[in-house]
Amino acid sequence: MTPEFVVEFAKEAILLTIYLSMPMLGLGLIAGLIISVFQAVTQIQEMTLTFVPKIIAVFMGLLFAAPWMLEKMTSFTARVFENIPMYIR
């Protein structure tokens, strides 16, 4: 294994992690912004008001994105297992 190979492999794994986390992080961000605007307008400063909708949004995003995420993870893992003989050289 060359250093370039290891760096490329790590880069691909990190990019996959970022792609898989984006839908949930984006939904959490959007829910947080909506709740923050609501709190600013109504001047309600309750901590659970921000926490619960974000958790619900992230879980709903996970529910809908799970098949896509599973497909991406299994294809990456299958590609790694298929290329094990090449990695050993």
Nearest to 62 by CA among 12, 16, 28: 28
Buried residues in 47-58 as b, exposed as e (16+ CB within 10 A): eeebeebbeebb
pLDDT at residue number 62:
94
**pTM attached to this predicted model:** 0.77
Q: Each residue's pLDDT tens digit in the chain (89 positions)?
A: 788 888 998 999 999 999 999 999 999 999 999 999 998 898 888 878 888 899 999 999 999 999 999 999 999 999 999 988 887 76
